[in-house]
Amino acid sequence: MQDLGINVIFEGSNLLRLLIGLWVTMRIAIVAIAISVVLGIAFGIVMTAKNRWIQWIARLYLESIRIIPILVWLFIFYFGITKVLHIHLGAEVVSVLVFSLWGIAEMGDIVRGAITSLPVHQRASGRALGLTDLQIYRYIIIPQAVRRLIPAAINLATRMIKTTSLVVLIGVVEVLKVGQQIIEVSILKTPSASFWVYACIFALYFIICYPISLWSKKLELKWQNQ
C-alpha cells in the first residue's frame, strides 16, 4: 500500500524545516510591520500637512508603491539597485526594505484617512479650551484616530505576512521554498506530496493570520461600545 500522503509532513525533519522556513517569513514580516507602523504614523501625519510640495511628493511615493507590483520592486532593488550602487545587500535585507517602503506608504494613507475623518470642530473645541496643538494631538486626535485605523492597519499587516511568499523569488529560503524542496524529494515516493505540503503551509499561514483577524474584530467591538 502506498504511503498515505500526509506522512510526508512528519517524515524526518520536514516539519521542523517548514517551521524554520515559517520563522524566516515571520521575521521579515514582523520587522517590516514594526518599521511600517512607526514610520507610517509619522508619514500619515506629514500627509495631513497643507503644503502643496509635501502633498505632491507624498502622493508620488504612495502611487508608485501601489502601481508597481511588489515583486517588481523586489527585483528592482535586489538585482538593479545593488548593481548600480555597487553595494551588496542580502536578499532578506532587501525584502525587509521593500516591504517597509510598502508598509510605510499604506500605513501613512490609513493614518491620514483616520485623522481627516475626524470632525474639524474637535480641533476647534480643543483650541478653545486653551490646549496646545501637541496636547490636542495627544489627547483628542490620536486616541480617536487609532480606534478608526485599527481594522485597516491589521488588514495591512496580514496582507504583508501573506505577500512575503514572494521573496522566495529573490532567493530567500522561507516556508514556500522549503515546501518545494520537500516536495521535490518526496514526489516520486508519494505522488500526493505536493497537496499535503501545500495544505500544511496553508494551515500554517491560517494559524498565524486568523487569530490576528479575530483580535482585530474584538478590538473593533470593544471600541464601538464605548
Partner 1 sequence: MIQKTQEKLLEIMNLKKQYDDVETLKDISLDVHKGEVVVVLGPSGCGKSTLLRCLNGLEEIQGGQIKLNGEVINADKTKWHLIRQKIGMVFQSYDLFPHMSIIENILLGPTKAQGRDKTEVLAQAEKLLTRVGLLDKKDAYPRQLSGGQKQRVAIVRALCMNPEIMLFDEVTASLDPEMVREVLDVMLELAKQGMTMVIVTHEMAFAKAVADRIVFIDQGQIAEIAKPQDFFNAPTTERAKRFLNIFKFNEESER
Residues of the shown chain interacting with partner 1 in the complex, contacts defined by CB under 8 A? 119, 121-122, 124-132, 135, 139-140, 143-144, 147, 226
**Hey, what amino acid is at 74?**
L
As a whole number of angstroms, the distance between CA 18 and CA 176 comes to 8
Q: Which is nearer to partner 1, 51 or 135 (CB)?
A: 135
Q: Which is nearer to partner 1, 15 or 140 (CB)?
A: 140
Minimal CA–CA distance to 159: which of 95, 96, 200, 102? 102
C-alpha distances (whole Å) from 88 to each of 28, 78, 83, 92, 146 are 18, 9, 8, 12, 38
Shortest separation between residue 223's beta carbon and partner 1, angstroms: 8
Q: Which is nearer to partner 1, 64 or 132 (CB)?
A: 132
Shortest separation between residue 125's beta carbon and partner 1, angstroms: 4
Shortest separation between residue 118's beta carbon and partner 1, angstroms: 10
Shortest separation between residue 201's beta carbon and partner 1, angstroms: 41
Q: Which is nearer to partner 1, 137 or 195 (CB)?
A: 137
Shortest separation between residue 44's beta carbon and partner 1, angstroms: 19
Q: Is 50 exposed, middle or buried (0-12, 13-18, 19+ CB in 10 A)?
A: exposed
Q: Which is nearer to partner 1, 116 or 135 (CB)?
A: 135
Shortest separation between residue 126's beta carbon and partner 1, angstroms: 8
Minimal CA–CA distance to 166: which of 104, 41, 42, 78? 78
Cβ within 8 Å of residue 58, ≥6 positions away: 43, 46, 47, 108
Q: Which is nearer to partner 1, 147 or 162 (CB)?
A: 147
C-alpha distances (whole Å) from 137 to each of 54, 67, 116, 118, 133 are 20, 32, 12, 12, 6
Say which residue the cell 517548514 belongs to.
Answer: 18
Say which residue the cell 538585482 belongs to.
Answer: 79
